Chain A
Amino acid sequence: MVYPTGRKYTKEHEWIQTSGSTGVIGITDYAQESLGDIVFVELPKVGTELAAGKTFGTVESVKAVSDLYAPASGTVIEVNAELATSPEKVNKDPHGAWMVKIALKNPKELDALMSAADYEKFVAEEAGH
């Protein structure tokens, strides 16, 4: 699996892509694969303050609920409304189906996250357990 470069990854399997002071957040292919068929995505409202490492929403499969963790702090400026009616997009195109866009509060926070290559290694180890 190739994870897109130019993004940062968390140990909780979220990705974040920045352009200027905006961060776009989604979950990784590994995450959608282990969750199975996603049936519902619960996202915060525009204007919500996210704190790095804290939960900001949930993704549900038929028999499991997983929290979403913010890769970085910031204010939600846009939510992918499409996921409300088509949660399956997360399964089909995890790295395209973004969830929220935030105005980054402290872009330096991203330095602590993994690169695509590091994340791929991390995932390989986790799957090995």
Chain B
Amino acid sequence: MSRVSTYIDNMTDATDLAERAGDRDPRIGLRAVAALRRLLEQLEAVQVRSARNQGWSWQEIAAELGVSRQAVHKKYGRR
């Protein structure tokens, strides 16, 4: 009995994986994008902090990031 249910569980897992591999489910892709955005935010914070510590101006940081000086300052200023 338990062996049967284990077998079925394994089969379900395999089916899930197979479905995910070729993914058409928008949720998977959207979640990946959201996670990527979070990772990006963390990386940006690390780099901006590092640049500030090395004496970079907001203008210089903004130029490298390709955004306006105001945008960077608003996000990371006063901290």
A and B form one complex: no
